[in-house]
Structure 1
Amino acid sequence: MSLDGTYDGGNIFAKILRGEMPAARVFEDDHVLAFMDVFPQARGHTLVIPKHSAARNLLDEDPAVLSQVILGVQRVARAVRAALNPDGIVVTQFNGAPAGQTVYHLHFHIIPRWEGVALGRHAAGGMADPAELKVLAEQIAAQIS
């Protein structure tokens, strides 16, 4: 899919927001929802999405919404750091299929990194164990301030 297009309210993240699909939820406020990526590139890979948006990507988003989303990203990234003690954290966001975007609802990836541990491929690894994701979500959620 290109950078341009119409928002599809049937995308997986929209379904998660409506409670139609399960997710290992980490954090939620009036503006964002954070949950574990079911195809993680690393242990603790967390996604942050805007709750009230029809933006397919960063280029489509209203700056007022985006400012609240990035504050949520920072808050969750700090909790990932506190919970998992990684050596580094990647925060990334894709715009369009050629850039790696696979779900067309604006979202940010928070990916903890450890020295000597290879990073999995985006959207190409195996599905994580839901029970393990739930435990990780609880560990990270406990660190949200």
Structure 2
Amino acid sequence: MSDCVFCKIVNNEIPSDKVFENDHVMAFLDIAPSSPGHTLVIPKEHYADLTETPDNVLAELSKTVKKIGPKIVSAVDAKGFNLLSNIKEVAGQVIFHTHIHIIPRFEGDGLKHWPKIELSKEKIEEIKEEIIENITK
């Protein structure tokens, strides 16, 4: 897509701090990182989000995350990392090109877990049944 910033990065129209590249995938440092080493892993082909990305491309993304995630952690002396992919605007997606965030984590970094909500057993059962019904359609 001509107006996609990640496509422009893939096509070398915009510079990036690239840390990894192969025939299918590219990884580069986020320009607005949540932590040191915050890296984005993207397919070179344009897909809007993970739900629209073909399985073989998802496999390449996963292999890349598995390969470089621990190397990033080691390079920045982190203790672990989070994987994140925002899907759709309501979930915080800003660039509509599939990407996975590798966010290195450090002791006392202040990044907290998702807040927990209370649901009744009945509501959990209702949600479960709705999900199963949608999966089996």
Please state how far the C-alpha of 1:70 moved relative to its aligned partner. Answer: 1.0
Task: Report the structure number with the largest CA radius of gyration.
Answer: 2
Detail structure 1 runs of 4+ shifted over 4 Å in the superposition. Answer: none
Per-residue CA deviation, residues 82-105 of structure 1 (Å, 9 max, x unaligned), is 212212201111100111100000
My pick for the range that moved more, 25-34 or 110-119, is 110-119
Alignment of 1:70-109 (within 5 A): 70-109=62-101
Say whether 1:33 aligns with 2:26: yes
Q: Distance in 1 between matches of 2:46 and 2:14?
A: 18
Count of aligned positions: 112
Q: Residue 117 of structure 1 corresponds to which residue in structure 2? A: 109
Alignment of 1:60-71 (within 5 A): 60-71=52-63
Alpha carbons 2:79, 2:106 under 8 Å: kept = yes
Helix, strand or coil at the partner of 1:67: helix
Letter in 1 for 2:13: E
Please state how far the C-alpha of 1:30 moved relative to its aligned partner. Answer: 1.1
Q: Which 5+ residue runs of structure 2 have no aligned equivalent?
A: 112-137
Per-residue CA deviation, residues 99-137 of structure 1 (Å, 9 max, x unaligned), is 110000000000001111224xxxxxxxxxxxxxxxxxx
Q: Residue 12 of structure 1 corresponds to which residue in structure 2? A: 5
Q: Which 5+ residue runs of structure 1 have no aligned equivalent?
A: 1-7, 120-145
Relative contact order: is structure 1 or structure 2 higher (C-alpha 8 Å, sep ≥ 6)? 1
Letter in 1 for 2:42: I
